[in-house]
Amino acid sequence: MQKIAPCLWFDGKAEEAANFYLSVFSKSRIAATLHYTEAAPGPKGDVLAVTFEIEGQEFMALNGGPQYTFTPAISLLVHCSSQEEVDRYWSKFLDAGGKTMACGWLQDHYGVSWQIVPDGLLEMVRDPDHEKANRVMIAMMKMIKLDIGELRKAYRGES
């Protein structure tokens, strides 16, 4: 068990959301499902919470009710080793009803915000050569889905 794990609050769709995330990420699994008992505030037998893992990261999906919803103030960052991986995640989220945002961000159909980020981007924008970092930042700010080829061109000062 990890020391800290995100708990995502859903309105009755915790199990559905966990199963969706398992369909998006190949290295994922359900670790445990907790059901309401007669002592819990929900209908006995219904799902209260699902603990699941994505790429070794533990999450909990909780059926907490309609009181709270997700905002982009919290997002989950997905490191991608290639443009193909960026494209694959992007498509899986959007094909299921997600919405694009900007700069590699999207929101899934549950309202959870995700950043789909190619490896190397953070190194480029952190480069001590301010001009290189600035060119990458300018290029990224114009993108919806990140294009690692275009970001690298900006980094090198091409076009």
pLDDT of residue 111: 97
* Mean pLDDT across the chain: 96
CA 36/CA 57 separation, integer angstroms: 25
According to CATH, the topology of domain 1-68 is 3.30.720
Give per-residue pLDDT as tens, 27-81.
Answer: 999 999 999 998 878 888 899 999 999 999 999 999 999 999 999 999 999 999 9
Map out the domains of the chain as residue ranges.
Answer: 1-68, 70-159
Burial of 109 (0-12, 13-18, 19+ CB in 10 A): middle
Q: In what order do the strands lie in the sheet with 7-10?
A: 7-10, 57-63, 47-54, 28-35
Which residue has better confidence, 119 or 2? 119
Model pTM score: 0.92
Per the CATH hierarchy, to which homologous superfamily does domain 70-159 belong?
Answer: 2,3-Dihydroxybiphenyl 1,2-Dioxygenase, domain 1 (3.10.180.10)
